[in-house]
Structure 1
Amino acid sequence: MTEPIPHDVSLIADPIHHYIQFTVPRSSPGSNEITEKDLIDSPWLQRLRYIYQLQSARWVYPSAEHSRFQHSLGAMHLAGQYAKHVYPSLAQTVRYVPSLPYVEALLRITALLHDVGHGPFCHFFDHHFLHQYGLSHEHVSQAIIRHEVGHLIKQVRRSPSGTLADHEILDPEYVAFLILKEPDKQNRRYPRWLQLLRPLIGGLFTADNFDYVLRDSYMCGVAIGPVDIPRLIHYTLITPKGLTIHKNGLPALQMFLNARLYLYANVYYHRTSRAIDLHLLEIFHETMECIFPYNPLHHMQRYLRLTD
């Protein structure tokens, strides 16, 4: 007998992951359910359609016209896969852990929003604009998560795998904590299970860099050799020491790191890309003084309109 098609999860076609699931409101009469779709459709996520993934390499590789929006969807997909795989080892390592749907939803939403604070020209913008305010795009992302989309995050009650427990509420503070890669002196105020999940977003082999290595190489047309993401995820687990990879996964990790290194040498730090950055720098500060002479944290609605 054919199983009914689920109406609370939809699909996005993607050239890297084939299909990306995301939760949508159930079609019951009078339903006002908030789901991942509401976050994806929010102005802050839609803004990423107009932020290029590669700040200047797109002028070297003409097909690299993809955006941070596409990358964020891919990272969300991989974060969900990670969550489902590491959850049993996380539950064995820490006594009190939320439900699997909670952990899955938390990691998926974190990955979806991890780049939401990027400005035009991405990391170039970090180094030559945000740093004057002591900020990075991650700090801006945290502000957006807390103050712009936090009310939506709190209302999400499902992941693609299931429904959160009745007492569970997604906390925007947890999402903000997970995306910041800098050491946080206040880590102790966050639960142990959450701290153990942090390297899945900001570590050496994450949902973020898995997606951008695959996506950037594909969109640039650059051959990087085999990258075995399913094997890497399969051999990843949580132990009392933190995020751990089994020795059987080390060859796959080595292949991934070599592929990432190749991209840095031949795409991200391509000599022409760097030359373009240097030329851009000659006019960048004066231009920003004209179009956006503000600290983004104090002018969020203006920042919403600042794109490539």
Structure 2
Amino acid sequence: MYEGIALLADPIYGYIQFSVPVENGPPEQTEKDLIDTPWLQRLRKVHQLQSSFWVFPSGEHSRFQHSLGTMHMAGRFADRLYPSLKQVFGRRSPSQAYVKEILRVTGLLHDIGHGPFSHFFDQNFLEPLYGTTHEEIGQRIVTEKLGEIIRGIRRSPDGPFEKDEAIQPEHIAFLMRKPDPGAVEQMPEWLQTLQPVFSGIYTADNMDYIQRDAYMTGFSLDMVDIDRLLYYTFVTDRGLTLHRSGSSTLRRFVNARFTMYADVYFHRTNRAVDLHMQEIFQETIQLLFPFDPRESLDGYLTVSDWSLLEGVQHWVTDADPRRRALAAEWAKILNREVKWKMAYDHMETMDDPRGKKFWSAQDLEAAIRKHLPEGLRHIPFKVDMARQDPRPLNPWTEETKKILIYDPATGKASPSVVADLFRYIPAQVAHYRVFALDHSHDAELAASTQAALASQGQDAFTTNL
């Protein structure tokens, strides 16, 4: 009964099971083969918390640990969902072992494309230079580099697939990110139904990282009852559904996620460090890794937090003065010499997108300069805008965030009760912070920011972030 299964100790779940080859058994591909690839092992060298580890000293965990946790959580989703999935789709639904494994493998690989400092790498390198994201790179890694292993897996930790069942790497790639409508239509309906396990409001991904990041940083969260949330989740003919008895648990989870973003991921010092890194990041990456990651996946294997930070240290004595200058700036960051000091912060919320739009950081900075005393309009300062979407603006129309609530009194599942459920949780939040090089003009910056925000009008906005 213990053959072909091994355990990983984990601080959140106690133990995580994963499949391994049976000793003296026939050759096979297992989860261990995926875990031991250079692609998964690279994630040990990518921080889970971007730059938050400079603020929370114990938050040194990696994307690798989170990927293992997401694999485990995805398997728990499968255990809970399969009976109702089978009831809805009948013979069109694959075996339970197959469904569980496709979700587990997706959880394991969902972050496989992340680069140095995770989402910061997307926002400051991949997107502006190449118009791509870590998810798109991850999809290519899955289909082009890991496809052979994925297709060779024939069992989950619970047992073997049915005859002729084999996981398609394209199905993993589909579940990894929000696809275009054309891609949805090409996928089996049962697979479409499982997409919210990775792209909904509560997912295998965020149900792991909210718990894991809170634990690893020492941040105190209100109760997040994962067991109850999973217990009341099932499949109907309309899609993934939550029983009304689990609705209060969902509200607490969404509120916990909102709190983690506000107090951990968007901590003021994190954002100050990010502002400093923005000044040198793109140039540093281009010098260290002078290739298009879309065209050189093998080269991408060398790209990580570790290789970046080690690489810039070698520039301290470089003959090139520009490299020496970049090394000096990275040394300040590594030594936690925080360049930008917060002068003012302000949070705005939005529940109706027709009512107003958020400022962009660039537009708000320009407006603040207009309100500053003339002699201070050219002082160096920066505006940072951190945005999050705690819950859907419109639960009827946002397909990837749609939440169906089952009411046993009517026997129907509908998103109509979601408005009441989330009444006291904002749909969108913008956290504006003004940073300066010192605190000499905090009062003037605060007054000018307040004046700019008070005078906001439609002509001031160029984007709806």
Which TM-score band applies after superposition, normalised by the shorter structure? Answer: over 0.9
Residues 1:222 and 2:219 aligned together: yes
Partners of 2:64 and 2:161 lie apart in 1 by 26
Corresponding residue to 1:54 among 49, 62, 80 = 49
* Whole-angstrom CA distance in 2 between matches of 1:183 and 1:66: 33
1:198-234: CA deviation from partner (whole Å, max 9, x where unpaired) = 0001111011000000000000000011111011111
Q: 1:130-167 CA distances to partner (integer Å, 9 max, x unpaired)?
A: 11212111101100000011100000011011100111
Give deviations 1:48-96, integer Å, cap 9, x for gaps. 0000001111100000000000000000001001101100111111230
Q: Secondary structure at the match of 1:297?
A: coil
Q: Secondary structure at the match of 2:7?
A: strand
Q: Secondary structure at the match of 2:240?
A: strand
User: Given residue 141 of structure 2, which amino acid in structure 1 is its aligned partner?
Assistant: I
Percent same amino acid among aligned pairs? 51
Q: Which whole-Å CA distance do the structure 2 matches of 1:45 and 1:145 have between them? A: 11
- Please tell me the residue identity of whatever aligns with 1:17: Y
Which residue type is aligned with residue 157 of structure 1?
R
**Partners in 1 of 2:275 and 2:237 — Cα distance?**
45
Q: Please say if 1:115 is aligned against 2:111.
A: yes
Q: Deviations over 1:242-282 (max 9, x none)?
A: 11110011111111111111100001110110010000011
CA distance in 1, matches of 2:93, 2:68: 26
Answering whether residue 99 of structure 2 is matched by residue 103 of structure 1, we say yes
- C-alpha RMSD of the superposition: 1.0
1:186 Cα shift? 2.4
Separation of aligned partners in 1, 2:55 and 2:72:
28
Which has the bigger relative contact order, CA under 8 A and spacing at least 6? 1
Paired residues for 1:1-308 under 5 Å: 5-29=1-25, 31-95=26-90, 96-131=92-127, 132-308=129-305
Structure 1 window deviating more from structure 2 (15-24 vs 176-185): it is 176-185
Question: After TM superposition, where is structure 1 displaced by more than 4 Å over at least 4 residues in a row?
Answer: none
The amino acid of 2:124's aligned partner reads H
SS at the partner of 1:53? coil
CA distance in 2, matches of 1:88, 1:13: 29
Q: Secondary structure at the match of 2:172?
A: helix
Distance 1:203 1:294 in 2: 34
Q: When you count helix as a share of all residues, which structure comes out higher?
A: 1
TM-score by length of 2: 0.64
How far apart, in 2, do the equivalents of 1:306 and 1:24 lie? 28
Query: Secondary structure of 1:28's match?
Result: coil
Q: Per-residue displacement from partner, 1:158-197 (whole Å, max 9, x unpaired)? A: 1011100111011000000001124442211110000000
Higher strand share: 2
For 2:38, the aligned partner's letter is: P
**In structure 2, what residue type is equivalent to 1:80?**
G
Number of matched residues? 303
| Runs of at least 5 residues in structure 1 that lack an aligned partner in the other structure | none
Counterpart residue identity of residue 254, structure 2? L
Greater CA drift, 182-191 or 236-245: 182-191
Amino acid at match of 1:36: E
Once residues 167 and 289 of structure 1 are traced to their aligned partners in structure 2, the CA distance between those partners, rounded to angstroms, is 46
Partner of 2:294, secondary structure, is helix
Q: What letter is aligned with 1:61?
A: F
Q: For residue 88 of structure 1, what is the amino acid of its counterpart? A: P
TM-score (normalizing by structure 1) = 0.96
